[in-house]
């Protein structure tokens, strides 16, 4: 992972990465509630062509995905860029994608680049906004 302001990760950077790891772990368990818990109550999310406003909308969307097309999948979320805009605001760009059952690598054409805006409220980091975009196969 690269950062714009420093070459070594700080303790707070590790905490930021942990927010992303919690979403990945919840996905692996198909736990929509735990997945959504990483998002702020007023989060804004653009995913798979859908616009979701609020944690409840995220929970409902991902719960339906876990019950349907995303059943049994896992997700890869690798941070590639981190920038702090203020002590309580950070941007993380990730690359990864969805792993179908039995897969160990993201298949070409199914890669996803994500932009995560994280904010700290009452000493807890949460996802304030998220946007995903397909990575072209190539």
Beta carbons within 8 Å of 60's beta carbon, 6+ residues apart: 32
DSSP string, 48-79: TTEEEESHHHHHHHHHHHHHTTTTT-EEEEEE
Asked if 112 and 98 count as a contact pair (C-beta separation under 8 A), the reply is: yes
**Rounded (5°) CA angle 52-34-118:** 60
**pLDDT at position 33:** 98
pLDDT tens-digit series, residues 67-98: 999 999 999 999 999 999 999 999 999 999 99
**pLDDT at position 30:** 97
Percent residues over pLDDT 70 in the chain: 93
Residue ranges in the chain whose pLDDT is less than 50: 1-7
Do strands 89-99 and 74-86 pair parallel, antiparallel, or not at all (unpaired)? antiparallel
**pLDDT at position 9:** 62
d(CA 26, CA 31): 5
Sketch out the chain's domains with CATH numbers.
2-135 (3.10.450.50)
């Amino acid at each position: 992972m690269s950062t714009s302001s420093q070459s070594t990760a700080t303790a707070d950077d590790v905490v930021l990465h942990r927010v992303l790891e919690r979403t990945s772990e919840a996905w692996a368990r198909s736990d929509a509630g735990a997945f959504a818990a990483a998002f702020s109550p007023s989060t804004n999310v653009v995913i798979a062509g859908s616009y979701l406003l609020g944690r409840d909308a995220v929970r409902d969307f991902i719960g339906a995905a876990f019950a349907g097309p995303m059943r049994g999948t896992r997700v890869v979320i690798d941070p590639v860029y981190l920038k702090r805009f203020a002590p309580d605001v950070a941007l993380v760009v990730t690359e990864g994608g969805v792993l179908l059952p039995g897969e160990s690598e993201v298949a070409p054409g199914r890669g996803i680049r994500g932009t995560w805006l994280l904010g700290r409220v009452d000493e807890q980091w949460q996802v304030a906004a998220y946007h995903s975009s397909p990575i072209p196969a190539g």
